[in-house]
């Protein structure tokens, strides 16, 4: 479901944490690995809509020692009083810090035991309303990484359009992969294993290709640049050169906001992503023109990236069935709409 009602640009999923399961909203994030929730005692917590998880109330909560193998898999593990400590910071300056634990999660009707999760005692950032984050990235500690053989690194989701009040879907396992999708190869970056990179060869406006060099989107040998698919980012980011050419092709639509108040209908050109290997993903207007107030102001849901990294965000993914086949290295678009 969209986190809009909680004041968030993220998408949430309802997950039971612990035994007995306590229902919590968690952010669906395909751009990071660690699964975590805010935990009592909370030294520093942002506001969430469910009561903060208390490990003392869960029969299945087990702390992880510093010497355990799972602690070794953390990128910047620490040790405090014999317990494995984790900390993760995100691109927007948000962070979570706390201890690692093994816990039971209930997803739909499925119970997953002994999952390594972060118990966050110091958390800050853009997670408003959610209790934590469900990392679905490509690394070994993500939710799909830990399920491993059970899912084959496969999952699919449908993010419903914001403000509809409807709920989308999130499914795991090879059986969830649809027939008839347009498949695009994933690109591996050994320096950033949690990111799902795709080869983007160009952008189009109204069926015409924007004159941007394919090199702008390429992942280089040092692991810089490239294009990442990320449900945890709302607005798509493009390198400044590409962003400006793209924006200018849209007749300087937005730096870019328009007042469309009083218009019954507005003709807007489509926007297309051209992927290396053939498929073209063409987006309807509501995947790139978003209302920002009640007075008819719409803004362009693209922004320049200060680095060379491009991110295809969740606004551009709305309404499209998206599947990841992590084991075979593909992402699929369609065939269904949400």
> What is the average pLDDT value for the chain, to the nearest integer?
89
Q: What is the pLDDT of residues 42-87, one digit of tens each?
A: 999 999 999 999 999 999 999 999 999 999 998 888 898 899 999 9
* Residue 125: HSE in the Cβ half-sphere, 13 Å Cα cutoff: 24
Please identify which residue in the block is written with the tokens 């990294």: 309
What torsion do the CA atoms of 23, 28, 32, 34 make, to the nearest 10 degrees?
10
Check if 29 is active-site. Answer: yes
pLDDT tens for 149-199 read 788 889 999 998 766 677 889 999 999 899 999 999 999 999 999 999 999
Q: What is the pLDDT of residue 101?
A: 97
**Catalytic pick from 29, 33, 50, 325?**
29
For residue 245, the tally of other CB atoms under 10 A from its CB is 17
| C-alpha–C-alpha distance, residues 224 and 207, integer Å | 29
Query: What would the pLDDT profile of 89-141 be if each residue is shown by its tens digit?
Result: 988 889 999 999 999 999 999 999 999 999 999 999 878 889 999 999 999 99
The pair of structure tokens assigned to 33 is 């690995």
Cα gap 44→279, rounded to integer Å: 45
- Check 50, 57, 72, 230 and give the catalytic one: 230
Dist CA 328 CA 152 (whole Å): 9
Which pairs with CB-CB distance under 8 Å and at least 24 residues apart come from 13-16?
13/107, 13/134, 13/170, 15/105, 15/106, 15/107, 15/134, 16/105, 16/106, 16/107
Number of H helices, E strands in the chain: 4, 26
**CA distance linking residue 312 with residue 230, whole number of Å:** 6
CB 214 within 8 A of CB 289: no
Q: What angle do CA 110, 111, 113 make, to 5 degrees?
A: 150
Q: Is 215 a catalytic residue?
A: no
Per DSSP, 337 falls in state: E
């Amino acid at each position: 479901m969209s986190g809009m009602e909680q004041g968030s640009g993220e998408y949430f999923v309802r997950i039971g944490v612990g035994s007995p399961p306590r229902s919590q909203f968690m952010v669906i994030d395909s751009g990071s690995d660690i699964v975590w929730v805010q935990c009592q005692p909370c030294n520093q917590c942002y506001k969430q809509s469910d009561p903060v998880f208390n490990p003392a109330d869960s029969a299945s909560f087990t702390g992880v020692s510093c010497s355990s193998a799972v602690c070794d898999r953390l990128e910047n593990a620490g040790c405090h009083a014999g317990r494995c400590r984790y900390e993760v910071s995100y691109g927007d300056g948000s962070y979570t810090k706390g201890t690692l634990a093994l816990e039971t999660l209930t997803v739909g009707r499925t119970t997953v035991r002994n999952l390594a999760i972060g118990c966050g005692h110091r958390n800050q950032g853009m997670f408003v309303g959610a209790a934590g984050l469900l990392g679905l990235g490509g690394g070994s500690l993500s939710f799909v990484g830990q399920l491993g053989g059970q899912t084959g690194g496969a999952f699919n989701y449908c993010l419903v359009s914001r403000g509809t009040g409807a709920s989308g879907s999130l499914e795991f396992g090879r059986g969830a992969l649809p027939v008839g999708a347009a498949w695009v190869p994933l690109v591996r970056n050994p320096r950033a294993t949690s990111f799902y990179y795709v080869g983007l060869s160009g952008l189009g406006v109204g069926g015409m290709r924007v004159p941007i060099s394919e090199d702008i989107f390429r992942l280089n040998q040092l692991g810089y640049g490239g294009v990442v698919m990320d449900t945890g980012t709302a607005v798509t980011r493009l390198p400044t050169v590409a962003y400006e050419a793209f924006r200018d092709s849209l007749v300087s639509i937005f730096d870019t906001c328009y007042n469309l108040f009083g218009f019954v209908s507005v003709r807007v050109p489509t926007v297309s992503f051209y992927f290396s290997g053939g498929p073209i993903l063409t987006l309807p207007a509501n995947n790139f023109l978003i209302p920002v107030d009640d007075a008819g102001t719409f803004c362009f849901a693209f922004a320049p990236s200060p680095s060379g990294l491009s991110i295809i965000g969740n606004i551009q993914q709305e309404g499209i069935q998206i599947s990841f086949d992590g084991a075979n290295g593909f992402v699929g678009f369609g065939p269904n709409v949400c």
